[in-house]
């Protein structure tokens, strides 16, 4: 399976579609009667003045979500190949994203983090271009606006604003104007939201938007113990990837090294920002799938023992399907 996707063969798109369906078949067989879809945060509800939470039937919800994941996989694959992050063109990033986006059953339906992954991929397109850009003020302004739009959809996305500053530290010499203009880009979107609040006589409630930022980081999270079993191969692949990266780190171009550093920080930001949500949802970690995809693809591209990496991926693939059919 892995060797098939190591090559950049357009026919692999067909295999991707088949694997996408297989990774969702267990959930579709036992699909619940109702599946809720929350598109925007409560404070941005004025922007969508219609009832949409149950606008789609459960089956249609899963099908649309699968279509979005498929589109994101191809976009991310194109981005990684365009910037030559892996050293050669391949379809492994698309395969890894489709696999990670099917990891848990909450990933299989429409959700705000799934929508935000389009914005995160768009951010990466712009952030990766900061390295060679001479005047990047417009790009940083745009990324600030992207983060603001993302936080309207899913508030924990606000922490990805830190990724802009991390990118400026990693890619660019210090220029205070580039840092400030990213803030202006973010403020622009919320300025228009404040105007909408004012027009609806709700301006005093505008400051309540930021209250979750003062929440204490939780000591523990409640998660089904069987999900930890599913995470075992994921953690193992990440550890193996970091060992492989360490071996080849100084053999890579400077831009590639800096990009992997940026992706690592984005992975940490997306993983640790879950606590801003009023109710813990496993779907939050779908945001981690974008940076993790690059690490997974890197390991499987440069792993040398075929029997080992093929069995490792097969174990992950089978585990995902098994836990969909078994709810325990």
pLDDT tens digits, 73-92: 999 999 999 988 888 899 99
pLDDT (0 to 100) of residue 328:
45
Instruction: Check whether 221 has a pLDDT greater than 80.
Output: no
pTM over 0.75: yes
pLDDT (0 to 100) of residue 104:
85
pLDDT band of residue 149 (cuts 50, 70, 90) is very high
pLDDT (0 to 100) of residue 250:
62
Instruction: Check whether 107 has a pLDDT greater than 70.
Output: yes
What is the residue whose two structure tokens read 């950049």?
8
pLDDT (0 to 100) of residue 287:
92
pLDDT (0 to 100) of residue 227:
64
pLDDT (0 to 100) of residue 30:
79
pLDDT-wise least confident of 18-22, 201-205, 222-226:
222-226
Instruction: Check whether 327 has a pLDDT greater than 60.
Output: no
Please state the domain count of the chain. Answer: 1
**Which of 81, 83, 99 is closest to 8 using CA atoms?**
81
Round the average pLDDT of the chain to a whole number and report it.
85
Phi, psi (rounded to 5 degrees) for 234: -65, -45
Report percent pLDDT > 70 for the chain.
Answer: 91
Name the residue with higher pLDDT: 41 or 95: 95
pLDDT (0 to 100) of residue 283:
85
Instruction: Check whether 53 has a pLDDT greater than 80.
Output: no
Range of the domain at 43: 2-325
3-state secondary structure the chain: CHHHHHCCCCCHHHHHHHHHHHHHHHHHHCCCCCCCCCCCCHHHHHHCCCCCCCCCCHHHHHHHHHHHHHHHHHHHHHHHHHCCCCCCCCCHHHHHHHHHCCCCHHHHCCCHHHHHHHHHHHHHHHHHCCCCCCCCHHHHHHHHHHHHHHHHHCHHHHHHHHHHHHHHHHHCCCCHHHHHHHHHHHHHHHHHHHHHHHHCCCHHHHHHHHHHHHCCCCCCCCCCHHHHHHHHHHHHHHHHHHHHHHHHHHHCCHHHHHHHHHHHHHHHHHHHHHHHCCCCCHHHHHHHHHHHHHHHHHHHHHCCCHHHHHHHHHHHHHHHHHHHHCCC
pLDDT (0 to 100) of residue 138:
87
Instruction: Check whether 142 has a pLDDT greater than 70.
Output: yes
pLDDT tens digits, 292-316: 999 999 989 888 888 888 888 888 8
Name the residue with higher pLDDT: 59 or 217: 59
pLDDT (0 to 100) of residue 219:
54
């Amino acid at each position: 399976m892995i060797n098939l996707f190591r090559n950049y063969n357009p026919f692999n798109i067909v295999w991707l579609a088949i694997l996408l369906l297989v990774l969702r078949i267990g959930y579709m067989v036992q699909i619940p009667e109702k599946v809720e879809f929350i598109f925007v945060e409560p404070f941005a509800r004025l922007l969508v003045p219609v009832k949409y939470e149950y606008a789609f039937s459960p089956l249609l919800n899963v099908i649309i979500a699968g279509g979005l994941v498929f589109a994101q996989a191809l976009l991310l694959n194109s981005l990684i190949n365009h910037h030559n992050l892996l050293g050669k063109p391949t379809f492994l990033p698309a395969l890894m994203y489709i696999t990670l986006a099917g990891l848990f059953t909450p990933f299989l339906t429409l959700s705000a983090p799934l929508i935000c992954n389009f914005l995160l991929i768009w951010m990466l397109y712009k952030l990766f271009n900061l390295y060679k850009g001479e005047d990047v003020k417009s790009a940083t302004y745009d990324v600030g606006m992207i983060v603001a739009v993302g936080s309207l959809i899913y508030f924990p996305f606000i922490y990805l604003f830190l990724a802009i500053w991390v990118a400026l530290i990693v890619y660019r010499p210090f220029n205070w104007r580039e840092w400030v203009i990213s803030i202006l880009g973010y403020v622009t979107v919320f300025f228009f939201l404040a105007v909408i609040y004012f027009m609806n006589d709700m301006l005093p409630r505008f400051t309540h938007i930021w209250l979750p930022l003062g929440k204490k980081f939780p000591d523990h999270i409640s998660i089904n113990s069987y999900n930890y079993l599913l995470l075992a191969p994921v953690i193992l692949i990440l550890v193996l990837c970091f060992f492989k990266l360490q071996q080849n780190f100084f053999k890579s171009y400077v831009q590639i090294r800096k990009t992997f550093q940026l992706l690592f920080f984005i992975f940490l930001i997306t993983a640790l920002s879950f606590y801003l949500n009023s109710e813990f949802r496993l779907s939050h970690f779908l945001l981690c799938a974008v940076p993790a995809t690059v690490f997974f693809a890197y390991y499987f591209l440069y792993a040398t023992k075929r029997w080992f990496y093929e069995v490792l991926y097969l174990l992950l693939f089978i585990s995902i399907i098994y836990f969909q059919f078994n709810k325990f």
